[in-house]
């Protein structure tokens, strides 16, 4: 069995518990749907919003799952199509000389998927109290202060299956181009429903805001004092917090190599790509050897010339 999200391979037997009855968890995770084209029954995970009919290969948009709180307020439409995405992936991979060849396979590049990822978008005023320490001779000068900052459309990934490290790395998304959500945007797309709790997302947002505020404070005080300033935000409070639930467009290409999953993510709006790619040790060894021989050869040649000139 292969996971449609991350391309991980599993044995069917790894899910085997007791065929005679469903566990409650399994029952909650699965939904039964009817294909609009052929009437066949389709079983699909409740986390996704799309499924493929096993009988007629039609793509189903499971809009029923996007009702109530699960329905996003906004959606930022894709601005990059498959060809452009494949081209960007190709360009991104072209200068990665130590990348295993399996990642550069053209057919594989065309398997990248359009996915709408769920984000909570925070627009809020933030009041902070901070304590900064500035080295001065053998001691420090403490700078205490209060500040008010205003954040606009800070996104926080609400999907557990995508690492926040990656979703934060493909930012920013231009929220000014967000449209009120309509299921029609999900045609031929996968979409994930948020599964991170709002509290978790608020914590992550607060942490990111504190980090951003610290950077701004350092920038602010460095204009007056020295650059070796450090410290932390001692108190942070969100005021007039406006949280929107939105779908952001991401092209995802998952590749499995040496029993490990590697995810490429491409911002479907700006084309920014991030990846954590493996290194082909054989290629790395050859590159090292070639460069070593080249430089050593030049070094010997230079030495010979110097011997000839100086001795």
Asked if 131 contacts 239 with a C-beta cutoff of 8 angstroms, the reply is: no
Contacts 24+ apart (CB under 8 A), 78-83: 78/114, 78/189, 78/249, 78/268, 78/269, 79/177, 79/249, 79/268, 79/269, 80/249, 80/251, 80/266, 80/268, 80/269, 80/271, 82/110, 82/112, 82/114
Establish if 97 lies at the interface with other proteins (CB under 8 A): yes
* Residue 52: both structure tokens together: 């493929």
The distance of closest approach from Cβ of residue 124 to other proteins in the complex, given in angstroms and rounded to an integer, is 10
Establish if 282 lies at the interface with other proteins (CB under 8 A): no
Establish if 199 lies at the interface with other proteins (CB under 8 A): no
Nearer to other proteins, 84 or 218 (CB): 218
Establish if 111 lies at the interface with other proteins (CB under 8 A): no
Which of the ranges 14-22, 29-37, 65-73, 136-144 carries the binding residues for other proteins, by CB under 8 A?
Answer: 136-144
Residue from 35, 166, 250, 253 touching other proteins (CB under 8 A): that is 166
* Residue 113: both structure tokens together: 């998927």
Q: Pairing between strand 113-136 and 230-257?
A: antiparallel
* Residue 283: both structure tokens together: 């290629």
Establish if 10 lies at the interface with other proteins (CB under 8 A): no
Which of the ranges 9-17, 53-61, 143-151, 191-199 carries the binding residues for other proteins, by CB under 8 A?
Answer: 143-151
Which of the ranges 23-31, 35-43, 108-116, 299-307 carries the binding residues for other proteins, by CB under 8 A?
Answer: 299-307
Establish if 169 lies at the interface with other proteins (CB under 8 A): yes
Nearer to other proteins, 246 or 273 (CB): 273
Which of the ranges 63-71, 78-86, 146-154, 230-238 carries the binding residues for other proteins, by CB under 8 A?
Answer: 146-154
The distance of closest approach from Cβ of residue 136 to other proteins in the complex, given in angstroms and rounded to an integer, is 8
Nearer to other proteins, 73 or 171 (CB): 171
End-to-end Cα distance, the chain: 71
Nearer to other proteins, 21 or 95 (CB): 95
Which residue is it, tokens 């070593």? 292
Asked if 75 contacts 181 with a C-beta cutoff of 8 angstroms, the reply is: yes
- Sequence-distant (≥ 6) Cβ neighbours of residue 26 within 8 angstroms: none
Q: Tell me how far apart the alpha carbons of residues 191 and 180 are, in angstroms, rounded to a whole number.
A: 16
Establish if 292 lies at the interface with other proteins (CB under 8 A): yes
Q: Tell me how far apart the alpha carbons of residues 50 and 99 are, in angstroms, rounded to a whole number.
A: 32
Establish if 275 lies at the interface with other proteins (CB under 8 A): yes
Which of the ranges 6-14, 75-83, 93-101, 237-245 carries the binding residues for other proteins, by CB under 8 A?
Answer: 93-101
Contacts 24+ apart (CB under 8 A), 135-144: 135/226, 135/228, 141/225, 143/221, 143/225, 143/229, 143/231
Residue from 95, 101, 106, 199 touching other proteins (CB under 8 A): that is 95
Query: Interface with other proteins by CB under 8 A: which residues?
Result: 95-99, 125, 133, 139-154, 165-166, 168-169, 171-172, 208-209, 211-213, 215-217, 219-221, 273-279, 284, 287-289, 291-296, 299-300, 302-303, 306-307, 310-311
């Amino acid at each position: 069995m292969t996971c449609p999200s991350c391309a991980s391979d599993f044995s069917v037997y790894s899910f085997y518990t007791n065929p005679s009855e469903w566990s409650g968890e399994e029952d909650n995770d699965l939904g039964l749907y009817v294909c609009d084209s052929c009437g066949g029954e389709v079983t699909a995970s409740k986390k996704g919003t799309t499924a493929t009919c096993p009988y007629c290969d039609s793509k189903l948009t499971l809009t029923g799952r996007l009702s109530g709180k699960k329905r996003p307020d906004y959606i930022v439409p894709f601005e990059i199509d498959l060809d452009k995405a494949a081209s960007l992936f190709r360009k991104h991979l072209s200068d990665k000389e130590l990348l295993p060849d399996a990642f550069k396979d053209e057919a594989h590049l065309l398997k990248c998927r359009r996915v709408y990822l769920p984000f909570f978008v925070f627009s809020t005023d933030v009041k902070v109290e901070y304590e900064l320490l500035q080295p001065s001779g053998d001691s420090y000068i403490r700078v205490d202060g209060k500040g008010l900052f205003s954040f606009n459309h800070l996104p926080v990934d609400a999907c557990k299956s995508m690492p926040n490290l990656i979703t934060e790395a493909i930012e920013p998304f231009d929220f000014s181009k967000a449209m009120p959500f309509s299921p029609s945007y999900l045609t031929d797309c996968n979409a994930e429903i948020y599964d991170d709790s709002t509290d978790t997302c608020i914590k992550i947002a607060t942490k990111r805001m504190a980090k951003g505020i610290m950077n701004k404070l350092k920038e602010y005080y460095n204009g007056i004092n020295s650059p070796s300033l450090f410290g932390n935000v001692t108190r942070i409070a969100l005021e007039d917090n406006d949280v929107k639930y939105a779908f952001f467009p991401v092209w995802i290409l998952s590749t499995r190599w040496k029993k490990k999953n590697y995810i490429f993510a491409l911002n479907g709006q700006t084309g920014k790509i991030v990846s954590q790619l493996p290194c082909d040790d054989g290629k790395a060894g050859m590159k090292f050897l070639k460069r070593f021989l080249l430089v050593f050869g030049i070094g010997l040649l230079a030495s010979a010339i110097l011997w000839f000139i100086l001795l």
